[in-house]
Amino acid sequence: GLLRELMPTHVAVIMDGNRRWARMRGLPIWSGYEAGVRALRRIVELCCKWGIKVLTVFAFSSDNWFRPKVETDFLMGLFERGLRDELENFSKAGIRISVIGGSTKFPKPLQVLITDAMEVTKNNSRLHLIVAVNYSGQNDIVQACQSIALKVKDGVVKLEDINEFLIERELETNCTDFPCPDLLIRTSGELRISNFLLWQLAFTELYFEHSHWPDFGDDEFLEALRSFQQRQRRYGGHDS
């Protein structure tokens, strides 16, 4: 069985395979995305139930903009509807929501809603849901370097002050005390990181699930947690 004391503190998920899930069932693409939102609601509830503190989900990567406009428009609408529908529930359930990545290309009303949702839920502490939209792991490191370079130039930071901790505090995941995921789950059988969190995944246990994201339910999540609990995490330490 699962041990509560061996639960990961921070779980990251690449929610992949929504369109293939729809195609396999002869359904339209958008029904795959809608099924993906239902799967996200499920895993948020499970994280609350198991006392997981941070859940970071890759909801839209920078290269997703190259999809047909009808798809990206639908996804923008889905983000807005999902956020509007869930905001009250999140507040009642003690769920804090943060959005990382460049949302400046999003429709203005969605940008306003994101800012409001982050403000309204910022003191919630049961689960911190971090939604990466239009996020790029490499760009995250670039913006952190730019911010540090500026501080060195302004004399706020000395060169010898630059270390992992200072860099980590400049990354977009600095909204949480647990910026580095203990477990990364990627669905739909793809075995790659796709420019998601990069620096933060240095010691993360990787778990690849063959089923598509909409089919990732309670059983699949528990299986991933069981796998995590059976792994010895060495952090580059003892060689046994």
Ligand X SMILES: CC(C)CCOP(=O)(O)OP(=O)(O)O
Find the part of the chain contacting ligand X (CB under 6 A) among 12-20, 107-115, 138-146, 216-224.
Answer: 12-20
The C-alpha atoms of residue 169 and residue 157 are separated, in whole angstroms, by 13
**Per-residue x/- track, 114-143, ligand X (CB under 6 A):** ------------------------------
Decide: residue 196, CB within 10 A, 0-12 exposed, 13-18 middle, 19+ buried: buried
CA distances from 227 to 99, 106, 230 (A): 28, 37, 5
Q: Which is nearer to Mg ion, 24 or 145 (CB)?
A: 24
Q: Is 161 in the active site?
A: no
20 interacts with ligand X by CB under 6 A:
yes
**Per-residue x/- track, 178-217, ligand X (CB under 6 A):** ----------x-----------------------------
Q: Which of 233, 189, 219 is nearest to 207 (CA)?
A: 189
Find the part of the chain contacting Mg ion (CB under 5 A) among 12-20, 69-77, 125-133, 175-183.
Answer: 12-20
Dmax over Cα atoms in the chain, in whole Å?
Answer: 60
18 interacts with ligand X by CB under 6 A:
yes
Minimal CB distance residue for ligand X: 20
79 interacts with ligand X by CB under 6 A:
no
Q: Which is nearer to ligand X, 7 or 214 (CB)?
A: 214
Number of residues that bind ligand X (CB under 6 A): 11
CB of 130 to Mg ion, least distance (A): 20
Q: Specify whether the CB–CB gap between 59 and 200 falls below 8 A.
A: no
Task: Please select the residue that binds ligand X; options are 8, 17, 137, 214, rule is CB under 6 A.
Answer: 17
Minimal CB distance residue for Mg ion: 16
Task: Please select the residue that binds Mg ion; options are 15, 16, 197, 220, rule is CB under 5 A.
Answer: 16
Q: Which residues are the active-site residues?
A: 16
Binding residues for ligand X (CB under 6 A) = 15-20, 59-60, 64, 75, 188
